[in-house]
Amino acid sequence: MKCPYCGSYCADNTLYCPNCKQPLPTGEAAKKHEKPAKPKVYRPIWQRLLTALVAIISLSALAIGGYKLWTWMYNYRLERLYTRGQYTPTISEITLPDLRSGHSIAFYGQDGDQIFLPEMNRSLSISGGVTRMEIADSDWFGPDVNDVDHADVTLSPMLISETGMKTILPKVNFQIDVPQAPLSITSPASDRIDVVTSVYPLILNVVPGSTVFVNGEDVTKSLDRSGLLSTNVSVEPIGDNVVTLIVRTPRHRETRKEVTFFRQKYDIELELDTTVSDQSPSRTMAVTGKAEPGAVISVDTDYMEESLSMDLETGRFSFIARFSTIGDNVVRFRASMPGKQDAVISFNVNYLPSLAEYSAKAWAMDYDKLRVMFEQWSGRVFQCKGELIDAFVDGDRSYVVMDVGGSEQQLIILENRSSTTSPSLGRRYTAYADVDGQHMYKSQYYPKLVARYMDLAT
């Protein structure tokens, strides 16, 4: 029985509630306050199956919706990363080893993921957070490029995660101009050069498979497998000798270039032999050539007097030049004949002794005295050891800044003419260099030296 006053349960036939002490109803009145029992309801099996099916469908819908939401958020985050975030692809211009111009496309991501490019049918694996694809510009064009200005390139990269999940990334769009046929000229070193010989070596590189014309003559058969052409051109004593080069490479525009060889016209014929070099590892070098028969040869610069010989009948002559300066030395001589203006030839020879000979003359670095005695010590060789902290270009010359001090910074400026290494900043090097005055760096003057030999410090 339940007490109608406080709700406590009491034993049947109890007259008073033990909790609130109120009189309890008896007989029929008590039955009115009892809660009737609920009848047990039995549902058909199809109804129970239907309920279970609805529950399963609801849970599946929630799961699919949650997965789609997660996928959308994942793709949205990736799109932001690949459009304006840290994974945005970068495109840069490059020159391929075979001289063709090209572009490098860098994709970024997680190590182990892959970038698939359907247009190229190519997959790129990401390592170290990046993967790159290099492609020649000419690969975007067909055989005929005469009526084409550029190519509009569209790439549709797909990210394939390490777990196999595929995500379409934003498209990459860029424009490629029709490339020019590559032409690299090694000799001569510039488009215009003064020469003192009747022939001059012409050395150039093109893409293998190219066609090359020199002054209208097809010289393609002289190309080697790497695209190197080495030939001689005739240089007459008429002033400017213009040589026209034409290069035709498949899927490239034709390249046309002119090189001018200037040879002074004299009243007296005079020329050097082509075997005479502009480099010398020793302080002396033989100079030979040919003059007009009957001409007398005289040498204006330092030479060994007893070495001068000439044949007045054939015009052949020779002498031994001497070099007093490491680096460039001028050699000048002339041919004379009665009633004619002298013919004069002047050229530079770079005297560079061997490393053993050059370094044997090196002084230990005395920075304090070097700063004040740079003029008196011009040409003196020093061993310079220290870290390269900066590099700069002034005109057509490149310089590096070396700290040769210990606890206190002591800077020198080096003009690097060494062919033994390409120096990198932040590393220590040993250089053998000769004093060449001063040079301004960050509003201060520092000793300047010409580094003939340089290598990593041991």
Please count the structural domains in the chain. 5
Q: What distance lies between CA 189 and its chain's CA centroid?
A: 22
Question: In this structure, is residue 58 part of a structural domain?
Answer: no
Which pLDDT score, from 0 to 100, does residue 229 have? Answer: 92
Same domain, 402 and 333: no
Consecutive H or E run containing 7: none
Same domain, 96 and 166: yes
- Where a domain ends, among 351, 383, 403? 351
Which pLDDT score, from 0 to 100, does residue 35 have? Answer: 55
Question: In this structure, is residue 337 part of a structural domain?
Answer: yes
Residue 369 is given by DSSP the state: H
CATH number at residue 243: 2.60.40
Consecutive H or E run containing 107: strand 101-108
Same domain, 143 and 203: no
CA distances from 416 to 348, 397, 455 (A): 19, 9, 11
- Where a domain ends, among 142, 177, 212? 177
- Where a domain ends, among 324, 351, 378? 351
Domain of 235, in residue numbers: 187-263
Residue 177 is given by DSSP the state: E
Question: In this structure, is residue 192 part of a structural domain?
Answer: yes
Q: What distance lies between CA 109 and its chain's CA centroid?
A: 22
Q: Which of 25, 159, 13, 147 shows the shortest CA–CA distance to 82?
A: 159
Per-residue pLDDT in tens (0 to 9) along the chain, 458 residues: 678 778 777 777 777 787 887 777 765 555 555 555 555 556 677 777 777 787 788 777 777 776 666 566 656 565 666 665 667 888 889 999 888 999 999 888 888 889 899 988 899 998 888 889 999 999 999 888 888 889 999 998 888 888 887 887 888 888 999 999 999 998 898 999 988 888 888 999 999 999 999 999 999 998 998 899 988 888 888 899 999 999 999 999 999 999 999 988 889 999 999 889 888 999 999 999 999 999 999 999 999 999 999 999 999 999 999 998 888 899 999 999 999 999 998 888 989 999 999 999 999 999 999 999 999 999 899 999 999 999 998 887 889 999 999 889 999 999 988 877 788 899 999 999 999 999 999 999 999 999 999 999 88
Question: In this structure, is residue 61 part of a structural domain?
Answer: no
Which pLDDT score, from 0 to 100, does residue 436 have? Answer: 92
Which pLDDT score, from 0 to 100, does residue 338 have? Answer: 93
Question: In this structure, is residue 47 part of a structural domain?
Answer: no
CATH number at residue 449: 2.40.50.140
Which pLDDT score, from 0 to 100, does residue 66 have? Answer: 67
Which pLDDT score, from 0 to 100, does residue 19 have? Answer: 80
Tell me how far apart the alpha carbons of residues 129 and 300 are, in angstroms, rounded to a whole number: 65
Same domain, 334 and 294: yes
φ, ψ (nearest 5 deg) of residue 239: 95, -120
Structure tokens at 360: 């044997």
Classified as helix, coil or strand, 111 is coil
Same domain, 237 and 158: no
Which pLDDT score, from 0 to 100, does residue 430 have? Answer: 94
